[in-house]
Amino acid sequence: MRSAFDFSPLYRSTVGFDRLFDLLDQSSQIDSMANWPPYNIEKAGEDQYVITMAIAGFSTDEIEITQKENQLVVTGQKKGSEEGKQYLHRGIATRAFKQTFNLADHVKVTGASLENGLLTIDLKREVPEALKPRRIEIATSVKSQPQQIEHSKAA
């Protein structure tokens, strides 16, 4: 399914915005697995973010978190055998999942923890010093003191 917007005219007149247009295209596509597992994205500070995912029933060795360039991928694969168990009702979903988050430039994962069925991933934007805005001082030329011109008296 394509979005209602056609970005092709913009491709002709812009350079380097391919990733932005791809993100807009991806956001319009509906994926049934995108709703699983449920998650929150929170802004915890000026340059800090927290992703919290509800993954009840998964242990730390069944979850993999990887960051490659500007993409964070969280996958879960339940280990162990379910053979021999007979469920009368199965409401706790333990199906495998893969959730992908597109990160802005210079956003890095600083930590992750699993507690009470909630996976918490801490992120921080760390802009390199070379890319931070800096103030440029304006040089002034050295001017000499204004000279006073004496008028000579007419004789």
pLDDT digits 0-9 by tens, 128-150: 888 778 888 898 877 656 666 66
DSSP secondary structure of 83-145 = TT---S---S----EEEEEEPPTTEEEEEEEEETTEEEEEEEE---GGGS--PPPPP-PPPPP
C-alpha to C-alpha distance for 134 and 90, rounded to whole angstroms? 58
Domain range 36-127, CATH class? mainly beta
Q: What separation in angstroms does the CA of 3 have from each of 12, 18, 33, 124? A: 19, 16, 19, 31
Tens of pLDDT, residue by residue over 78-102, are 887 667 788 888 887 778 899 999 8
Helix (H) or strand (E) holding 75: strand 71-76
Residue entry with tokens 């199965």: 90
Q: What is the pLDDT of residue 1?
A: 44
The strand order across the sheet containing 71-76 reads 63-68, 71-76, 97-102
> Is the separation of the CB atoms in 67 and 109 below 8 Å?
yes
For the chain, give every residue range classified as CATH 2.60.40.790: 36-127
Tens of pLDDT, residue by residue over 18-44, are 667 776 776 666 554 567 899 999 999
- Mean pLDDT over 10-17 rounds to 67
Share above pLDDT 90 across residues of the chain, in percent, rounded to a whole number = 35
- Mean pLDDT over 60-80 rounds to 91
